[in-house]
Amino acid sequence: MNPYLVRKVIYPFHEQIMGRKTFEHLAELERLQSLSPAQIEEVRFRKLRELLIHAQQNIPFYADRFTHAGFEPQKMQAIDDIRRLPFLTKAEIKQNIDRMTWKDSPGGLHRYNTGGSSGEPLIFYFDKRRQAWDKAARMLTHRWWGVDVGDKELYLWGSPVEETRQDRMKELRDKLTNELLISAFEVSQSNVGAIFAAMQRFQPDCLFGYPSTIDLFAQMAKKQGLDPASLGISVVFSTAELLYDHQRKAISEQLGGIPVADGYGSREGGFVSHECREGRYHVMDPNYVVEFIQEDQPVPTGEDGEIVLTHLDAWGMPLIRYKTGDVAQPGEGACSCGCGFSTMQAIRGRTTDFVVTPDGRWQHALSVIYIVRDIEGVDEFKIIQHELEDVEVLVKTIPERYPTDGAERIVAGIQKRMGDSVRVRVNLVDSIPREASGKHRYVVSKVAHKGL
Ligand SMILES: [Zn+2]
């Protein structure tokens, strides 16, 4: 499809029928990024105040919370006033989900289920307003790297759902908007050739996906004598995992010396920050209040703090002072790229892994994570691949909600993904041990750790 047509007609029309003001927000972000930090601050303060007034009036959970804290959003003087409110934890979201949504959200609410990046399964809701702002932020950052709406974007992305009508609709939409999705779970030594051929036909301008999967794909292609650099991709956008320096270097080299631009965000947190051409992670200031917290206090530049988010456009299910479990440092000073948004640095966390199937496929850990976390009453879990055909699943349940056939479903689901010869043991436990780093990892594969 002609990129100009996609950019000017098809995509704007699609967003309009979806009820999202994505392109208006994109224009607004373009305008705001060239303003001074003080001017951007004014916009954020106004948006924050509006959000908090809305939350007080329309969301019972927050109305109670504000009353309890003696907090009156109408009387706010500065952004920092939100520090008088308590943090929002994943556990609170789980317990209060029914009292946290805005029933009258324009365009309705969309339910999502996520593992988060370092916690437990979490159900949450999106509204159109938030989706549109997150999309606009993504478009803006793509433009920083010379990729505009309508340019060809290849997704190497996890999509565990079986083919449904909705997927076929998405396929059609992808064709119309110059996007192509290749499932990250399909990357294997045996079909890397076919994937490569599909990419060659598509001729992508940019590649978006998990760095671990892109790195793996490039390595496998090279092993088979294929040259990923010949695909003509101009930039890689990595996301959803920690991007290691060695990965960045390897991906860049394998794809012909192109830049790798990393983004930080999550399903529930949204599109939080992204690298510019100067290699700094700019926070999407007009859409967020981001705090870096240690022992309940903000940390100074150069120190690690937990990322705490307030999404200024999540009106359907407000996230106010949401503790992400991810760690980063606040950035300092203006950036020479010209964008006035603040920065963050040294992002840690978000590590995921692969599992290896007996027939030699490297599957992204999310393929098995989805199976377990979708079962009701699973509070926390960890999947350990001890040997190629030996998988152990530790599950901490909420007993009254965990179904009697829970274990059976986990076994069947994992065998479907990995192969029937894999022995799956499900053990119910009272707590899940953390990694030495203190971080929770859903999947640890001792097989994958041995390397390709
Ligand atoms: Zn910059």
- Is residue 211, in this structure, part of any structural domain at all? yes
Asked if residue 341 and residue 362 are part of one domain, the reply reads no
Task: Say what the pLDDT of residue 450 is.
Answer: 65
pLDDT of 198 above 50: yes
The CATH number covering residue 363 comes to: 3.30.300.30
Let me know if residue 137 belongs to a domain.
no
| Cα atoms found within 13 Å of the Cα of residue 295, Cβ hemisphere only | 2
* CA–centroid distance, residue 281 to ligand 1 (Å): 7
**164, part of any domain:** yes
Q: How confident is the model at residue 451 (pLDDT cuts 50, 70, 90)?
A: low
- For residue 140, being part of any structural domain is answered with no
CATH of the domain at 244: 3.40.50
Q: Are residues 361 and 336 in the same domain?
A: no
Residues 373 and 410 in one domain: yes
Distance (angstroms) between ligand 1 centre and the Cα of 147 equals 16
CA of 228 to the centre of ligand 1 (A): 28
What pLDDT, on the 0 to 100 scale, is given for residue 116? 44
The answer to whether the Cα torsion of 348, 35, 26, 205 is positive or negative is negative
H/E element holding 386? strand 378-387
116 and 152 fall within a common domain: no
295 Cα–ligand 1 center, Å: 30
Q: What is the CATH number of the domain that holds 72?
A: 3.40.50.12780
Q: In the chain, pLDDT over 90 holds for what percent of residues?
A: 65
309 C-alpha vs ligand 1 centroid, how far in Å? 21
Convert the pLDDT of each residue in 348-383 to its tens digit.
655 456 788 898 777 777 788 888 988 889 988 899
Residues 181 and 112 in one domain: no
Instruction: Decide the pairing of beta strands 206-209 and 179-183.
Output: unpaired
> What pLDDT is stored for residue 158 in this prediction?
67
Which pLDDT value is given to residue 118? Answer: 42
CA of 266 to the centre of ligand 1 (A): 21
| Average pLDDT of the residues in 74-99 | 94
Q: Which two tokens mark 258?
A: 């192109």
How far away, in angstroms, is 345 Cα from ligand 1 center? 12
Let me know whether 118 and 223 are in one domain.
Answer: no
> Counting Cβ atoms within 10 Å, is residue 431 exposed (0-12), middle (13-18) or buried (19+)?
exposed
Residue 79 CA to residue 219 CA, distance in Å, equals 47
Mean pLDDT of 205-227: 90
- Among 258, 282, 308, where does a domain finish? 258
Interval between CA 120 and ligand 1 midpoint (Å): 33
Q: Is residue 312 domain-shared with residue 397, that is, in the same domain?
A: no
What CA–CA distances, in Å, run from 445 to 141, 188, 242? 34, 17, 17
- Distance (Å, whole) CA 174 – CA 231: 19
| Mean pLDDT, residues 129-139 | 97
* pLDDT for the residue 166: 60
CB proximity list for 102: less than 8 A, separation 6 or greater: 54, 58, 59, 109, 127, 315, 316, 317, 318
The sign one gets for the Cα dihedral 284, 289, 295, 300 is positive
CA torsion angle 129 134 138 140 (round to 10): 60
CA-CA distance, 362 to 304, in Å (whole number)?
Answer: 33
Q: Which domain holds residue 362?
A: 354-450
Looking at the fold, whether 128 and 272 belong to one and the same domain comes out as: yes
Mean pLDDT of 260-287: 95
The more confidently predicted of residues 117 and 252 is: 252
Q: Tell which wins on pLDDT, 445 or 340.
A: 340
Which H or E run contains 415?
helix 406-418
119 CA from centroid of ligand 1 (Å): 31
* 158 and 223 inside one domain: yes
Q: What is the pLDDT of residues 393-406, one digit of tens each?
A: 999 999 999 999 99
* CA 340 – ligand 1 centroid, Å: 8
Query: How much of the chain, in percent, has pLDDT values that exceed 70?
Result: 92
Task: Give residue 33 CA to ligand 1 midpoint distance, Å.
Answer: 10
Confidence band, pLDDT 50/70/90 cuts, at residue 117: very low
Region 156-160: what's the mean pLDDT? 68
CA 341 to centroid of ligand 1, rounded, Å? 8
| pLDDT score for 438 | 45
Ligand 1 centroid – CA 409 distance (Å): 47
Q: Is the pLDDT of residue 161 over 50?
A: no
d(CA 280, ligand 1 centre) in Å: 5
- Is 91 found in the same domain as 50? yes
Indicate whether 205 and 150 sit together in one domain: yes
| C-alpha 129 – ligand 1 centre gap (Å) | 26
Residue 189 has pLDDT above 60, yes or no: yes
Cα 26 to middle of ligand 1, angstroms: 18
Q: How far is ligand 1, taken at its centre, from the CA of residue 339, in Å?
A: 6
Ligand 1 centre to CA of 245 (Å) is 19
Q: Is 226 inside any structural domain?
A: yes
The pLDDT assigned to 346 comes to 80
Q: Report CA(263)–ligand 1 centroid distance (Å).
A: 13
The alpha carbon of 284 and the centre of ligand 1 are apart by a number of angstroms equal to 12
- For residues 207-211, average pLDDT: 91
- Residue 215 shares a structural domain with residue 316: no
Q: Which two tokens stand for residue 351?
A: 């590590």
Q: How far is the centre of ligand 1, averaged over its atoms, from the C-alpha of 343 (Å)?
A: 8
Domain end residue (candidates: 348, 376, 397): 348
Q: What is the mean pLDDT of the chain?
A: 89
Cα 279 to averaged position of ligand 1 atoms, centre (Å): 7
- pLDDT (0 to 100) of residue 167: 67
Whole-number pLDDT of residue 79: 97
Q: Is the pLDDT of residue 296 over 90?
A: no
Residue 138 lies in a domain: no
Q: Quick check: is 141 in a domain?
A: no
Ligand 1 centroid to Cα of residue 335, in Å, is: 5
| pLDDT over 90 at 134, yes or no | yes
Answer with the residue of higher pLDDT: 337 or 369: 337
Strand ranges in 115-234 using DSSP code E only, listed in sequence order: 122-127, 153-157, 179-183, 206-209
* Final residue belonging to a domain, choices 227, 258, 289: 258
Query: How many separate domains does the chain show?
Result: 3
Higher pLDDT, 241 or 205: 205
